[in-house]
Amino acid sequence: EVQLVESGGGLVQPGGSLRLSCAASGFTFSSYWMHWVRQAPGQGLVWVSRIHDDGRNIRYADSVKGRFTVSRDDAKNTLYLQMNSLRVEDTAVYYCVREGASCGGDCHFDSWGQGTLVTVSS
């Protein structure tokens, strides 16, 4: 069974930093493109970042570019999101998401973690 378990969320002051982790199990983590998607309280889904299986093809939403860094450790089956210079508007549940691998390229999101809440407030 595919499992994605996020951790590392919490309360942080504006300008602070947090590192989110996503522990993956039940599949060959190193073969999959992975994403972070966030959802502000009561709001919709917003894509944040993507990292390919090679760890080198990386993209970010404009709203987080230069402040967030995505990485992966395939030996530990773990995805990370380093978040610096946090703003109030970064407050959200952050989901770790697996992109399907059966599409021969870009694919839908086939598995989601339960999410971890990040609250940026003074």
Start-end of H helices in 14-57? none
Residue from the set 41, 44, 75, 122 that interacts with other proteins by CB under 8 A: 44
In whole angstroms, how close is the CB of 77 to other proteins at the nearest point?
19
**How far apart are the C-alpha atoms of 119 and 105, rounded to whole Å?**
34
Span of 9-17, 18-26, 74-82, 108-116 interacting with other proteins by CB under 8 A: 108-116
Span of 9-17, 18-26, 59-67, 81-89 interacting with other proteins by CB under 8 A: 59-67
- What contacts 114, CB < 8 A, 6 or more positions away? 4, 5, 6, 95
- Counting every residue written for the chain, the total comes to 122
**What radius of gyration, in Å, describes the C-alpha atoms of the chain?**
14
User: Contact between 50 and other proteins (CB under 8 A)?
Assistant: yes
User: Contact between 115 and other proteins (CB under 8 A)?
Assistant: yes
Total interface residues for other proteins by CB under 8 A? 22
Q: Are strands 10-12 and 18-25 parallel, antiparallel or unpaired?
A: unpaired
Residue 80: beta bridge partners? Answer: 21, 71
**How far apart are the C-alpha atoms of 82 and 86, rounded to whole Å?**
10
User: Contact between 5 and other proteins (CB under 8 A)?
Assistant: no
In whole angstroms, how close is the CB of 20 to other proteins at the nearest point?
15
Binding residues vs other proteins (CB under 8 A): 35, 44-47, 50, 59, 61-62, 95, 99-100, 104, 106-110, 112-115
